[in-house]
Structure formats: structure tokens, C-alpha cells
């Protein structure tokens, strides 16, 4: 099998990106550039559709925009604001606890180090890397299910989990793509390279993608 040309692929996706619906957390991060809002929006987005995440984020930030303001809300108030995001009661509890920790341990600021972000309740590597890249414009590789699936379909990596994909990309992916790969592949994955029956006939990478693991497509 020919070696996958990551430079060409990402250049093509960059060209096509304006045609696709932009992921909500990416859009909010670009518009506001607030690490706290990126962090909270990303937590809300887990197991939740983009439209629901956007509306829940807007309702919550209308009540509180900083850790200092947010910690004054009760779990019930946060729950009502973010409903119906997935696991909204658990997320409300996590959000209050995150705000408490930020105030007590970090001077009310979101930390800029991966290991510190991972200490926060409900924050995994995907969220932590997204905060670094979108909140602070610092190097990181945010791997969600789209990035994991697509990189394996391309044959660019051969991994079993998103965390394995992140580590493989840290070794292999040219640094100039670290900040952008999540934006491009999430939009690509939501609009074209879908989990089930991807739209290969409409794909701008048709002809260069080996379609690894794709059993059925349109």
C-alpha cells in the first residue's frame, strides 16, 4: 500500500473546510479565545450533539462567565441551564468542582499544562489537549473519535484507541498540523467521513484514501 500523503490530504481538507458546518467548540473558541469557556464547553460537548452543546453553553454563560461567578451557582441551577446535554447532572457537579479547584489551587485561572489539566474532574486527554490548542494556542494533539477513526481509515496510523492514536500522532504528525488537525478532521468526520456508511463518493480525498476498515459506503 502506498504511503498516505498527510500533507496533501490536510491541504485539501483546509481548502474544503469553509463548506462544512464548523464544530461548535471550535467556533466558540475562535470567537471568544477564553480558556475557561473552552474548557466548560468541551465538557458539555461530551456525548452531546453540537446544537445542544451550543445552546447549553449559551444558557450557562449567560448566568456565569468566570469560575468566580460559576461557583456561586448551585448544582441544580447549572443542571437546569445545561439540560439536555448528556449526563447533565454529573456534568453540573463536575463544573462546580472544577471552578472550586481553579479558585483554590490556580488563582481562578485555567492551567496551561497538560498534567495539571488532567487533574481536573471530568477532564481527559481529549479535553485537556483541546484547551491547550484552542484556549492557549499551545502545542497539543486533540484526538476524539473522528480523528482516531479517520487516521486509521487513511492507514496513517494503526491503533486501537484514541489515546494510542494521540501518541502515534505525536511521533509521526508534522508539528505544523498539531493545532489544526482536530478542527479539520472533526468537520470532515461530521460531514463526509462518517462513522457508518461514509460519503466516499463525495469525498475530496477519493482516490488517495485506502478506506481501511470501511465495509459499506455511499
Domain containing 152 — which CATH number? 1.10.1670.10
pLDDT confidence of residue 215:
86
Task: Assess whether the previous peptide bond of 212 is cis (omega < 30° from 0).
Answer: no
pLDDT confidence of residue 30:
74
126 a catalytic residue: yes
pLDDT confidence of residue 29:
74
Whether the pTM exceeds 0.85: the reply is: yes
Query: Is 214 inside any structural domain?
Result: no
Same domain, 145 and 106: no
**pLDDT averaged per 10 residues, the chain (length 218):** 89 96 79 88 92 95 98 98 97 98 98 97 95 93 96 97 97 96 95 94 94 87
215 a catalytic residue: no
**Annotated active-site residue in 11, 126, 138, 172:** 126
pLDDT confidence of residue 32:
65
Hey, CA dihedral for 149, 194, 209, 177, is it positive or negative? Answer: negative
Q: With beta carbons less than 8 A apart as the criterion, state whether 153 and 209 touch.
A: yes
Query: Is 212 inside any structural domain?
Result: no
pLDDT confidence of residue 2:
67
**Annotated active-site residue in 144, 160, 183, 215:** 144
pLDDT confidence of residue 155:
96
pLDDT confidence of residue 28:
74
CB atoms within 10 A of CB 202: 10
Query: Is 130 inside any structural domain?
Result: yes
Range of the domain at 97: 24-135
| CATH number for 29 | 1.10.340.30
Amino acid at each position: 500500500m502506498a504511503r498516505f500523503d498527510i500533507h496533501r490530504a490536510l491541504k485539501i481538507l483546509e481548502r474544503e473546510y469553509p463548506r462544512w458546518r464548523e464544530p461548535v467548540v471550535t467556533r466558540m473558541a475562535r470567537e471568544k479565545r477564553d480558556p475557561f469557556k473552552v474548557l466548560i464547553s468541551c465538557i458539555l460537548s461530551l456525548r452531546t450533539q453540537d446544537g445542544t452543546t451550543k445552546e447549553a453553553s449559551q444558557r450557562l454563560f449567560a448566568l456565569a462567565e468566570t469560575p468566580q461567578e460559576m461557583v456561586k451557582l448551585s448544582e441544580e441551577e447549572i443542571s437546569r441551564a445545561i439540560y439536555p446535554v448528556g449526563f447533565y447532572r454529573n456534568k453540573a457537579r463536575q463544573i462546580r468542582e472544577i471552578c472550586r479547584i481553579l479558585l483554590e489551587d490556580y488563582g481562578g485561572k485555567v492551567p496551561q499544562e497538560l498534567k495539571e489539566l488532567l487533574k481536573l474532574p471530568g477532564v481527559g486527554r481529549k479535553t485537556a489537549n483541546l484547551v491547550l490548542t484552542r484556549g492557549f494556542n499551545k502545542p497539543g494533539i486533540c484526538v476524539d473519535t473522528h480523528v482516531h477513526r479517520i487516521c486509521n481509515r487513511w492507514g496513517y496510523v494503526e491503533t486501537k484507541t484514541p489515546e494510542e492514536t494521540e501518541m502515534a500522532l505525536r511521533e509521526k504528525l508534522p508539528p505544523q498540523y498539531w493545532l489544526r488537525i482536530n478542527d479539520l478532521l472533526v468537520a470532515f468526520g461530521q460531514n463526509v467521513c462518517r462513522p457508518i456508511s461514509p460519503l466516499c463518493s463525495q469525498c475530496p480525498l477519493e482516490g488517495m484514501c485506502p478506506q481501511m476498515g470501511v465495509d459499506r459506503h455511499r
